[in-house]
Structure 1
Amino acid sequence: MVPIPPDPRTHAHHHDTQQAEESLRGQLEGSGWTFVIPRPVSAAARLGLRAAPRADAAQVTEALPGEALERLWDDGHGWVYVRTVQDGYLGWTRLDGLTAPQGGETLTVTALRAHAFAGPKVSQPITGELCLGARVTRAPGEVVEEGGRRWVPVVLPDGTDAWVGETILLPLPGADPAALALRFLDTPYVWGGRSAWGLDCSGLSQLAFAAFGRPLPRDADQQQAALAAVTAPQRNDLAFFPGHVGVMLDDRRMVHANATHMRVTVETLGEGEYGQRLQAGCTGFGRWTP
């Protein structure tokens, strides 16, 4: 038997506790494994998923409000090992950040950042923080018009009744991930982040493509392996570097979340000191294909 690659990002198995997900039964070396059937849960709000069950452990990714997760096992001290369903990524998060999946009509937030309110008026208290890709449930009741604005009654992922402006739910125009990525300019860089409140390089590319139904894996190396390699980049191709990725705006310009500037910026490959370093370190380009 050839063992599976021990990639902790996508294969739920811990040798120290001898726990693994049921789908790996018969694929792991040794005996004494306890196999667990994943259970569906949701993120009650934005949740940092960490490399270990500790608050000071590195954030490896982020679950968005209402995002579908799978609960695998607990550490007995308030931490839970979970998987993000949309990209299969694993990490530890706090139990109190999880909730049961809601029924009913699901609405997806299309604004980069948004708030939910206690009532259908901008002066009402803010009851929730939302972002591109977050999911809320349509609540019973009619849309309310107020001051030229339209308010939709919703239930937030944590079960709170709230109202959101209809504009944060409107379909995105076109199918241009590069244009959407550009809207994130100056968003703070956050390791493991996946929202306009803070994100990393592969979080930006993943969000920009997912908004138009083009799924990508979580990390830069995974994204490079998933895409078709090309030598002459064009708009909406991805540029890859060791541990880094950016979205091409044309054959030379690239938008990316980077720790050099600690924000989302645009660079021209080969131009200026930073652009020259990027061009020298480029390991290739990838193109999303159906």
Structure 2
Amino acid sequence: MPPDSRVHAYDLTSRQAEDALRGQLEGEGWTYFLPRPVVAAARLSLRAKARADAGQVTEALPGEAMELLWEDAHGWAYVRTLHDRYLGWTLTEGLTQAQSGEVLTVTALRAHIYAGPKVSQPMIGELCLGATVNRRSAEVVTEGGRRWVPVGLPGGAPGWVGEATLSPIPEADPAALALRFLDTPYVWGGRSAWGLDCSGLTQLVFGAFGQPLPRDADQQQEFLNVVERPVRGDLAFFPGHVGLMLDERRMVHANATQMRVTIETLGEGDYGQQLAVGCTGFGRWDA
């Protein structure tokens, strides 16, 4: 069986592959590449092919660490997101080098970088839960009772964020965090509160508490420990889908039926009955 092309970089047509696969691929004529460290300068769409009309497979969040495997002649780069080793094509112009200094993680669902320490200043960047920014050496500014932190996105202009966007999440409860995403639009391959898919939601809320999950629903099911009776915080799996249990029957999930994040009760109503019949099992994250 060939390596999983979602996380192992190789192309049978161009005969290009990452150096880690040297000696593992059949045939001759392979060109191997050593990955180069890069970071996402903004929220980047990773696509199945090096085309703007190709389907999105995942997203890289602002400041997220990545690897660049190889580039084509038209401004596209084949990259990997390091936290889950997922692969896709993105425009090279969206990549930059990591900056030195303190790294701050955004805890607000959605936020912006401002040109100056005031809410009336122009917004110069878009942020989301899990994005990272670099702390600049300037002093924190207090304005109108609000504290502004000097930051910068990698490769971007210096700016400011409200300190509240960096406040610690009060309780390590992925289910409670997932509920804050209610009504967020469904976006295939999305990983942020600007739009996400089912496994993007579960990966994002567990990752916020240092509990990493793979990218796709089938990968998450394989990764977790199987349980028979779910409790709050367990994941429920279906063919090509995953949701986060709030208790033994209620589930929050990003779903393409409602085109948003909703709560369903397994076995209740037409949709809930369909989900109950289609459920393939439950999984639990254990350290």
| TM-score, normalised by the number of residues in structure 2 | 0.99
Select which of 126, 136, 144 maps to 1:129. 126
Instruction: Show the 5 A alignment for 1:31-70.
Output: 31-70=28-67
Q: Distance between the aligned counterparts of 1:36 and 1:195, measured in 2?
A: 30
Select which of 213, 219, 236 maps to 2:210. 213
Deviations 1:85-131 (A, max 9, x none): 00000000001111111111000000000011000000000010000
Q: Distance between the aligned counterparts of 1:258 and 1:157, measured in 2?
A: 33
Q: Distance between the aligned counterparts of 2:224 and 2:47, measured in 1?
A: 27
Residue 24 (structure 2) pairs with residue 27 (structure 1) = yes
Cα offset, 1:160, TM superposition = 1.1
Q: Distance between the aligned counterparts of 1:233 and 1:157, measured in 2?
A: 41
Query: SS in structure 2 opposite 1:189?
Result: coil
Unpaired segments ≥5 residues, structure 1: none
Q: Distance between the aligned counterparts of 2:153 and 2:78, measured in 1?
A: 23
Query: SS in structure 2 opposite 1:187?
Result: coil
| TM-score, normalised by the number of residues in structure 1 | 0.98
Cα offset, 1:26, TM superposition = 1.0
In the other structure, the counterpart of 2:191 is 194
Cα offset, 1:79, TM superposition = 0.5
Query: SS in structure 2 opposite 1:245?
Result: strand
In the other structure, the counterpart of 1:222 is 219
Cα offset, 1:158, TM superposition = 3.1
Unpaired segments ≥5 residues, structure 2: none
Query: SS in structure 2 opposite 1:62?
Result: strand
Cα offset, 1:142, TM superposition = 1.0
Q: Distance between the aligned counterparts of 2:20 and 2:214, measured in 1?
A: 20
Instruction: Show the 5 A alignment for 1:1-290.
Output: 5-290=2-287
Q: Distance between the aligned counterparts of 1:64 and 1:214, measured in 2?
A: 17
Q: Distance between the aligned counterparts of 2:145 and 2:242, measured in 1?
A: 41
* Contact in 2 for aligned 1:135/1:157 (Cα 8 Å): no
Cα offset, 1:159, TM superposition = 2.2
Cα offset, 1:75, TM superposition = 1.3
Q: Distance between the aligned counterparts of 2:163 and 2:97, measured in 1?
A: 25
Cα offset, 1:157, TM superposition = 2.5
Q: Distance between the aligned counterparts of 1:80 and 1:142, measured in 2?
A: 37
Q: Distance between the aligned counterparts of 1:147 and 1:171, measured in 2?
A: 22
Q: Distance between the aligned counterparts of 1:102 and 1:22, measured in 2?
A: 26
* Contact in 2 for aligned 1:178/1:235 (Cα 8 Å): yes
Q: Distance between the aligned counterparts of 2:121 and 2:273, measured in 1?
A: 50
Q: Distance between the aligned counterparts of 2:266 and 2:148, measured in 1?
A: 44
* Contact in 2 for aligned 1:45/1:158 (Cα 8 Å): no
Instruction: Tell me which amino acid in the other structure corresponds to 1:70.
Output: E
Query: SS in structure 2 opposite 1:223?
Result: helix
Query: SS in structure 1 opposite 2:32?
Result: strand
Q: Count residues with an aligned counterpart.
A: 287
Query: SS in structure 2 opposite 1:116?
Result: strand
Percent of matched pairs sharing the same residue: 73
* Contact in 2 for aligned 1:48/1:93 (Cα 8 Å): yes
